[in-house]
């Protein structure tokens, strides 16, 4: 009689062990996908940050009266580069996007600047980066969603708690205009 009970208990223990391994590996996978998705955003942000000094150099010669805006953009860029928190990063990126949009709107008043080939190239590059950044944000937020579902769902939430898996933060932009690719009409 003890023999069948031992076999049933052994099957249950082995089944729980297998589930623990599968759940742990799934949590590791979703966590790594979140990290990989963030690196995609980080690459796009770096490209964006690298374009801004060149944009400011070109614009400075044409926009003598807009010195404060250019200084603000440089300061916000510096602050955004040095941010380590995803929520703060979203807020600073929102402000930076607003300032860049203001710069392009003001550029409308400078016909020589609008005709400058380097300015137009930088503006086009920035627009392309913004589009890629928008795609990277969507991918990242999808990865975060999947990770958080795995961490919150029963019974994998028990495994997540045992091994210290934490929910990831969404990368949200507060400004609805920042969610769109900047558009400027230079016709």
CATH code at position 148: 1.20.1440.20
Between CA 76 and CA 179, with CA 125 as vertex, the angle to 5 degrees is 60
pLDDT, mean of residues 14-34: 97
Of the candidate ranges 34-48, 76-90, 129-143, 145-159, the one whose mean pLDDT is the lowest: 76-90
Band (pLDDT 50/70/90 cuts) for residue 107 is confident
3-state secondary structure of 187: coil
Residue 139 inside a domain? The answer is yes
Give the pLDDT of residue 166: 96
Range of the domain at 44: 2-163
For residue 174, being part of any structural domain is answered with no
Six-digit token string for 185 = 């009409």
Q: Look at residue 110 in the predicted model and tell me its pLDDT.
A: 85
In a domain, 73, yes or no: yes
38 confidence band (pLDDT: 50, 70, 90): very high
Question: Does residue 180 fall inside a structural domain?
Answer: no
Total-model pTM: 0.82
Helix (H/G/I), strand (E/B), else coil: 90: helix
Q: Is the pLDDT of residue 13 over 90?
A: yes
- The total number of structural domains that make up the chain: 1
Give the pLDDT score at 181. Answer: 53
Classify burial at 25, counting beta carbons within 10 Å of its beta carbon; exposed 0-12, middle 13-18, buried 19 or more: exposed
The answer to whether 77 and 83 are in contact (CB under 8 A) is no
**Binning pLDDT at 50, 70 and 90, where does residue 12 land?**
very high
Whether 186 is in a domain gets the answer: no
**pLDDT range class, residue 2, cuts 50, 70, 90:** low
Q: Is residue 119 part of a domain?
A: yes
**What would the mean pLDDT of 15-26 be, rounded to a whole number?**
96
Cα–Cα distance for residue pair 125/51, rounded to 1 Å = 8
Residue 41 resides in a domain? yes
Assigned domain for 101 exists: yes
Confidence of residue 174 (pLDDT cuts 50, 70, 90): low
């Amino acid at each position: 009689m003890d023999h069948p009970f031992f076999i049933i208990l052994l099957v249950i223990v082995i089944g729980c062990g297998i589930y623990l391994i599968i759940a742990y590996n799934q949590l590791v996978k979703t966590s790594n996908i979140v990290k990989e998705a963030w690196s995609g955003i980080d690459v796009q942000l770096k490209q964006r940050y690298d374009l801004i000094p060149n944009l400011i150099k070109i614009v400075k010669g044409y926009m003598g009266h807009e010195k404060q805006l250019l200084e603000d953009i440089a300061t916000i860029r510096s602050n955004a580069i040095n941010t380590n928190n995803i929520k703060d990063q979203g807020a600073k990126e929102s402000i930076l996007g607003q300032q860049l949009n203001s710069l392009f709107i003001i550029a409308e008043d400078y016909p020589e600047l609008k005709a400058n080939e380097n300015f137009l190239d930088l503006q086009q590059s920035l627009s392309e980066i913004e589009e890629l950044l928008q795609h990277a944000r969507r991918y990242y937020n999808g990865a975060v969603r999947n990770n958080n579902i795995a961490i919150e769902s029963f019974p994998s939430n028990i495994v997540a708690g045992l091994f210290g898996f934490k929910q990831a933060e969404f990368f949200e932009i507060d400004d609805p205009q920042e969610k769109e690719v900047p558009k400027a009409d230079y016709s």
